[in-house]
Amino acid sequence: MNTNLQTPIDYLKGIGPNRADLLRKELGIYTYQDLINLFPNRYIDRTHYYTINQLQRNSADVQVIGVITSLQTIGEGRSKRLVATFKDDTGILDLVWFRGHKWIRESLKLNKPYVIFGKTNWFNGKFNMPHPDMELLEDHKKNLQSVMQPVYPSTEKLSNKGITNRVMIKIMQQLFLETNGKFIETLSDNLKNELKLINKSDALFNVHFPKTQELLAKAQYRLKFEELFYIQLQLVIKNLIHKSKIKGYPFNNVGTYFNTFYKSHLPFELTNAQKRVLKEIRADLGSNAQMNRLLQGDVGSGKTIVAFMSILMALDNGFQACLMAPTEILSVQHYNGLLEWSNKLNISISILTGSTKTSERRIIHESLENGELHILIGTHALLENKVKFKNLGLAIIDEQHRFGVAQRSKLWHKNESPPHVLVMTATPIPRTLAMSVYGDLDISIIDELPPGRKSIKTVHRYDKNRLNVFKFIRDEIKKGRQIYIVYPLIQESAAMDYKDLMDGYESISRDFPMPDYQISIVHGKMKPADKDFEMQRFIKGETQIMVATTVIEVGVNVPNASVMIIESAERFGLSQLHQLRGRVGRGAEQSYCILMTSQKLSSDSKTRLETMVKTNDGFEIAEVDLKLRGPGDIMGTQQSGVLNLKIADIIKDKDILQLARFHAKQVLNKDPNLSKDENQVLLYTYKQLSKYKNIWNYIS
């Protein structure tokens, strides 16, 4: 009775080899299953008919009944077009085709009533409708089954080749005919009852041919839940398998290092959030499953000390630890910070980067292998094959989004048994997104800034107000503060960026002349040693102004710097702006962020700037960013596959997502292997999904 939904689309009546090819290439539809899962983008009300005198300029989706009274070809070459004069009792409208003249001309019937449907333009004192969707009135009356007509995703190529929306609807109707509209149920009775979800077959029917608005809503809800549920089920299962299969080193002791540091050397009282996160990490490290945890905390929230204290837990149990950061500058800074603390505890610590000398490297390699070296900090250089640990117990990765998944897992294989892994990121990933992409990681969040921080005041200024901004800088420097001025990134190809930076540097040097003012400059084209030299001058307070590109974006910590000026701020993305702003506001003083832009701004740029001015909350900013850019962009193409959702939208449907995650966990809690009778339907669907989709591959 059930048609096999894996049947190639070519077999559906009405789809020849050409159409099948187009559907495959344009929409990725290979099988009946793919087709049934092609959900409408939206629905249009086809109960309403306009008369021509009711049309508005630029109205979308209008439906008019009338007749074609004449047809003619107008223009030459590229502007050649077929124009039909279409009339009803109230006026005249031109129908226009720029392509496909021949078959349209042959198929159109003069003086017979048609229902046309499409978007109208106002041109030359007349309405026209380009490439209308049309149907003879008598057919229209026969076919009209639902008041809400689905509009399917389409491409230009599809409509050019005659696969219009109307054709898509016909194809879908045919599919329902051949399958009798009966589809295998994919959710358990338990779930359906508890959540009052409608049946699969009813849901599919009503999403394609809604009988009522209410049924449509129910159908969408059920299908969205299902889609998100199976993603969550997969993620939770992965996490469980990970925990049961991958043994970690159990760190049983909280020992001398940790306790001594905690009692005698803690530089400040930990925030409650830091304490909570340390407890979460402690619990992971104490169990004998490998930790795989993501630590999210806004810039300045104090992740470094959490990292250090986690490292102490490893050391207390006789293990080594490493901390990997994406840039040289950041590695050096981590090294300097951790060195101070380590010295107090007699812990040995080294740094390894691209610019470490061969002789030093040799020493590091040796002392790592014989276990004398406790902590290694560094860049990607840590991933080199020569770097071998005696017993690496904990690997920490800072600013996780800079490292690919492959690199992350490379660290794992430095040992017999994988070390515990803690990835830290200051780019707040909206909770919903984290849940759908990192659902297999455990997540800790530091959602509290250290006490006494004044929130950063952010303003937007136009270039023409530069003089006022410069005066402000002078006043701040007089108070003993330091200033960052940041330019868009210098890329090899972007000679323009470099010129902007250098021009800016020159003009700032003129306005802030030596010896009263000292200026540092740091950019991507400099040698690491020179960069470091300039950074150090600024850190030591020898220079008051740091002119830089985004190389300073990540992690740099100079508490005395209180003003961040971002040039051409319209060219930066939201998360970058937020990261940059996070360089200030690290001391006790009131800090400022000034976003400089030209007068001309796109609406997205405006939204970004307004958001920055309005809020300091990284999670709120991340949500706006997600809305502006879409999830694929934020996570990078690598992970976008996961989010290639067919019906749900992780932004709009986050409540359903949460519900789906809750139920996925609950089902697996009660029945980890899905072996109970009532869950057979889940197990079956889960297996089918793994077989026919490779969404796994996208998740690390």
One-character DSSP codes across 178-206: HHTT-----S-HHHHHHHTPPPHHHHHHH
Contact 95, 84 (CB under 8 A): yes
Contacts (CB under 6 A) with ligand ADP, residues 350-369: none
Considering only 129, 197, 291, 299, the residue that binds ligand ADP (CB under 6 A) is 299
Please report how close the Cβ of residue 190 comes to ligand ADP at its closest, in angstroms.
Answer: 43
- Six-digit token pair at 340? 């101070």
Tell me if 559 contacts ligand ADP by CB under 6 A: yes
Q: Which is nearer to ligand ADP, 40 or 378 (by Cβ)?
A: 378
Tell me if 585 contacts Mg ion by CB under 5 A: no
Site string for Mg ion, 550-569 (x = CB under 5 A): -----x--------------
Q: Which is nearer to ligand ADP, 117 or 341 (by Cβ)?
A: 341
Please report how close the Cβ of residue 295 comes to Mg ion at its closest, in angstroms.
Answer: 10
Please report how close the Cβ of residue 524 comes to Mg ion at its closest, in angstroms.
Answer: 20
Residue 161 CB contacts under 8 Å (≥ 6 apart), including other chains:
18, 22
Tell me if 303 contacts ligand ADP by CB under 6 A: yes
H/E stretch holding 637 reads helix 637-640
Phi, psi of 368 (to 5 degrees): -70, -45
Partner that binds at residue 270, options Mg ion, ligand ADP, none, CB closer than 5 to 8 Å by kind:
ligand ADP
CA dist., res. 508 & res. 266, Å (int): 40
Q: Which of 243, 199, 239, 252 has its CA nearest to residue 221?
A: 199
Contacts (CB under 6 A) with ligand ADP, residues 387-406: none
Q: Which is nearer to Mg ion, 169 or 295 (by Cβ)?
A: 295
Considering only 118, 150, 297, 631, the residue that binds ligand ADP (CB under 6 A) is 297
Helix ranges restricted to H, 482-544: 495-511, 528-539
The count of residues interacting with ligand ADP (CB under 6 A) is: 19
| Closest residue by beta carbon to Mg ion | 555
3-class secondary structure, 473: helix
Contact stretch for ligand ADP (CB under 6 A) within 65-73, 190-198, 264-272, 571-579: 264-272
Q: Which is nearer to ligand ADP, 270 or 383 (by Cβ)?
A: 270
Tell me if 296 contacts ligand ADP by CB under 6 A: no
Please report how close the Cβ of residue 282 comes to ligand ADP at its closest, in angstroms.
Answer: 17
450 cis-preceded (ω within 30 degrees of 0) = no
Q: Which is nearer to ligand ADP, 272 or 348 (by Cβ)?
A: 272
Q: Which is nearer to Mg ion, 298 or 500 (by Cβ)?
A: 298
Partner that binds at residue 305, options ligand ADP, Mg ion, none, CB closer than 5 to 8 Å by kind:
ligand ADP
Q: Which is nearer to Mg ion, 117 or 308 (by Cβ)?
A: 308
Phi, psi of 268 (to 5 degrees): -160, 165
Phi, psi of 482 (to 5 degrees): -120, 155
Q: What is the DSSP letter of 511?
A: H
CA dist., res. 227 & res. 648, Å (int): 7
H/E stretch holding 377 reads strand 375-378
3-class secondary structure, 588: coil
Q: Give the amino acid at 481.
A: R
Please report how close the Cβ of residue 283 comes to ligand ADP at its closest, in angstroms.
Answer: 21
Tell me if 482 contacts ligand ADP by CB under 6 A: no
Contact 657, 228 (CB under 8 A): yes
Please report how close the Cβ of residue 123 comes to Mg ion at its closest, in angstroms.
Answer: 58
Q: Which is nearer to Mg ion, 22 or 325 (by Cβ)?
A: 325
Please report how close the Cβ of residue 284 comes to Mg ion at its closest, in angstroms.
Answer: 21
| Closest residue by beta carbon to ligand ADP | 302
Contacts (CB under 6 A) with ligand ADP, residues 441-470: 450
Q: Which is nearer to ligand ADP, 130 or 559 (by Cβ)?
A: 559
Tell me if 204 contacts ligand ADP by CB under 6 A: no
The count of residues interacting with Mg ion (CB under 5 A) is: 1
Q: How many CA atoms lie within 13 A of 142 on its CB side?
A: 6
Contact 167, 133 (CB under 8 A): no
Tell me if 586 contacts ligand ADP by CB under 6 A: yes
Considering only 67, 254, 270, 405, the residue that binds ligand ADP (CB under 6 A) is 270
**Contacts of range 119-122, beta carbons closer than 8 Å, 24 or more positions apart:** 119/58, 119/59, 119/60, 119/61, 119/62, 120/55, 120/56, 120/57, 120/58, 120/59, 120/62, 120/93, 121/57, 121/58, 122/57, 122/58
Tell me if 271 contacts ligand ADP by CB under 6 A: yes
Q: Which is nearer to ligand ADP, 189 or 269 (by Cβ)?
A: 269
CB crowding 322-357: b at 16 or more within 10 Å, else e: bbbbbbbbbbbbbbebbeebbeebebebbbbbeebe
Please report how close the Cβ of residue 306 comes to ligand ADP at its closest, in angstroms.
Answer: 8
Please report how close the Cβ of residue 32 comes to ligand ADP at its closest, in angstroms.
Answer: 51
H/E stretch holding 101 reads helix 101-107
Please report how close the Cβ of residue 59 comes to Mg ion at its closest, in angstroms.
Answer: 53
Partner that binds at residue 181, options Mg ion, ligand ADP, none, CB closer than 5 to 8 Å by kind:
none
CA dist., res. 289 & res. 266, Å (int): 29
Tokens 């406790």 correspond to: 374
CA dist., res. 383 & res. 71, Å (int): 70
Q: Which is nearer to ligand ADP, 305 or 441 (by Cβ)?
A: 305
Contact 607, 624 (CB under 8 A): yes
Q: Which is nearer to ligand ADP, 150 or 326 (by Cβ)?
A: 326
CA dist., res. 567 & res. 484, Å (int): 10
Tell me if 274 contacts ligand ADP by CB under 6 A: yes
Considering only 167, 223, 285, 305, the residue that binds ligand ADP (CB under 6 A) is 305
Contact stretch for ligand ADP (CB under 6 A) within 128-136, 427-435, 551-559, 609-617: 551-559
Partner that binds at residue 526, options Mg ion, ligand ADP, none, CB closer than 5 to 8 Å by kind:
none
- Six-digit token pair at 316? 């207390």
Site string for ligand ADP, 416-435 (x = CB under 6 A): ----------x---------
CA dist., res. 597 & res. 475, Å (int): 22
Please report how close the Cβ of residue 424 comes to Mg ion at its closest, in angstroms.
Answer: 7
Binding site for Mg ion (CB under 5 A): 555
Residues that bind ligand ADP (CB under 6 A): 268-271, 274, 297, 299-305, 426, 450, 555, 557, 559, 586
